[in-house]
Structure 1
């Protein structure tokens, strides 16, 4: 682990009252995190594609809910890994420690969903095989690969968690340079980072639940079906404005967003009730387990998002906005600023203890 060496400004200089650090970042762990997540995605997608192609080539065309379950699960799971890869790039680019931790937790979620997927696909294949829509051999051909997938994700989770721990110090130094040593300001910035990361994960889990409802659970194009379609773009708009208002420190805008989050919480609570109510439970049976998983995770994320949104509003107009909205200075400007802060003292270009 790299430890930054302390630099003390010369006595009598403008920077004598405080210490400055010069740190050479170690990109090894950054690349390791990217490589592990990329390798996990490639291997998992290859296995998912094989299972999907094997199912599609042997299935007899039919319109039963069970026939839609398998491709929906496989497509949604594959999208989860691709979306996670995008978030990895974004987190490493922004050096966002909170998002890195969130990605580790997201990988655990994908691991759990992968285990759920085995049972769900087995049930769907059994129903299709009994009805003569698919050969019984499909499950025997797919089962080993469906079991391997959670094992790969489990290994990936262990590796990225270890690398994330190594990245913590690396990114903490970046935040120090960006925010300075003001502990109160760092807490406000941390709250802001948590809120932005939650919005990104909210999008995936809400979309995952909605896709399953539209493809698997909805048997008729009623009013609820069309309202669910409309909810997708509306949710994207709400999440985008949620990020916009917190950056602009708009209290009124954030109050509206928080109220909309409460409405979303009521929506998912209603859906969970419908999935287990005797009168409507039959409509959700083909994907009830996975939909419940997505609904519960989304509810937990919404509650956490509301709490962090309130904390962000409480931090408005306390000096955080310039740190969020300011553009990155050019290298020359950074050097000039550092030099002036040190009273013209020359800082060694490389001071690092391995």
Structure 2
């Protein structure tokens, strides 16, 4: 189990932890207050499923961020530390979009008399506070990341060597692995919202394919990391083709959400259209960068990087380097005990 041993790693961890606790406490209150204000039978309305879904994504999002923090500090992945700051910005954008989406949901429920009047005035301060907490957390995480950049860069320099080209190849690999982890969250967040809020019949082929896509995506992203570590050209080509297929899927979803020629489908997407659009666009952008980075990783195959990327952790030179042998090493020397004497170095 990894335990932070540097003040900046501790600071980075604690900022992420406290931010998650405060944000989730705010969302828990919003969820409880919203559920208590619903009238009988309101749970059947698609708008009433909005807040529970958002809260579920928030819980998963912050837990996943803490896992990313632990993983980044464990393997000393500088790029992933920076990626966590960008991830936090994405959560900030989602929190701001969520506020407008909840307002639309409450307004729709109010029209049908499914919810207590005046509930929006009670929830609005907490919905405004959540993005403010994330904004402050992003600033604090970015400052800690700036400090960690120097610490981790020196460790990587000592561990990999002074070869500038090799360090650049390793940097590309770190970017790629970080992108895979971010792709997983944004794809899963989009899929969960689609299944819960939009819903549909299990006889609908689109719903069935979406459900199947969840475990398949997890396997593909895992294989993508394995293929890159093993430097397989054929495997990497297959993975890149799958990335293009995934991009086509999200473009298709965006088209369906705004296709005026199919008003029934547009109406189904409406309760979560802003949020789904946000996640779809972010996922498409991530896929574009992921494809480009996968190509760069392929270009770096068979150039001496494989032994370094197969290691799970960058060893800290301070912990691994012993300038002088210990007394135990001297007494257990293969040539017999070494007599103690003063030496001039």
User: Partner residue of 1:239?
Assistant: 221
Gaps (5+ residues) in structure 2? 326-345
Whether 1:309 and 2:308 are equivalent positions in the alignment is: no
Provide, for residues 136-194 of structure 1, a one-character-per-residue CA deviation record: whole Å limited to 9, x for no partner: 13212111101000001001111111111111100101110121110000010000000
Preserved contact between residue 228 and residue 236 of structure 2 (Cα < 8 Å): yes
Which residue in the other structure is 1:203 paired with? 184
Q: Distance in 2 between matches of 1:226 and 1:251?
A: 32
Runs of at least 4 residues off by over 2 Å: 218-221, 326-336
How many residue pairs end up in the alignment?
A: 315
> Within 5 Å, which residues of 2 pair with 1:1-354?
27-60=6-39, 61-62=41-42, 63-221=44-202, 222-278=204-260, 279=262, 280-326=265-311, 334-335=320-321
TM-score, normalised relative to structure 2: 0.87
The 1:333–1:218 alpha-carbon spacing in structure 2 relative to 1, beyond 3 Å, is: closer
In structure 1, stretches of 5+ residues that fail to align are 1-24, 341-354
Q: Name the SS of the counterpart of 1:243 in structure 2.
A: helix
Do the aligned partners of 1:126 and 1:136 also contact (CA within 8 Å) in 2? no
Please give the TM-score of this superposition, normalised by the length of structure 1.
0.85
The change in CA–CA distance for 1:94 and 1:332 in structure 2 (over 3 A counts) is closer
1:238 and 1:190, CA in 2 relative to 1: closer, same or farther beyond 3 A?
same
**Closer/same/farther in 2, CA of residues 303 and 259 from structure 1, 3 Å limit:** same
Return the alpha-carbon distance in structure 2 between the equivalents of residues 174 and 297 of structure 1.
32
Deviation per CA, 1:42-75: give whole Å up to 9, x if none.
0001111111111112212331110111111122
Contact 2:200 2:207 in 1 (8 A): no
Superposition deviation, residue 339 in structure 1: 6.8
CA distance in 2, matches of 1:148, 1:333: 43
| 1:48/1:78 contact within 8 Å kept | no
Distance 1:220 1:210 in 2: 15
- Aligned match of 1:20: none
**Whole-Å Cα distance in 2 between the matches of residues 332 and 127 of structure 1?**
60
The answer to whether the Cα contact below 8 Å between 1:26 and 1:170 also exists between their aligned partners in 2 is: no
Once the two structures are TM-superposed, the CA of residue 311 in structure 1 deviates from its matched residue by: 0.7
Is the partner of 1:277 in helix, strand or coil? Answer: coil
Note closer, same or farther for the CA distance 1:327–1:291 as it changes in structure 2 (3 Å cut).
Answer: closer
What CA distance in whole angstroms lies between the structure 2 residues aligned with 1:169 and 1:251? 34
Aligned with 2:200: secondary structure? coil
Say if 1:190 and 1:83 are closer, same or farther in 2 by CA, change over 3 A: same
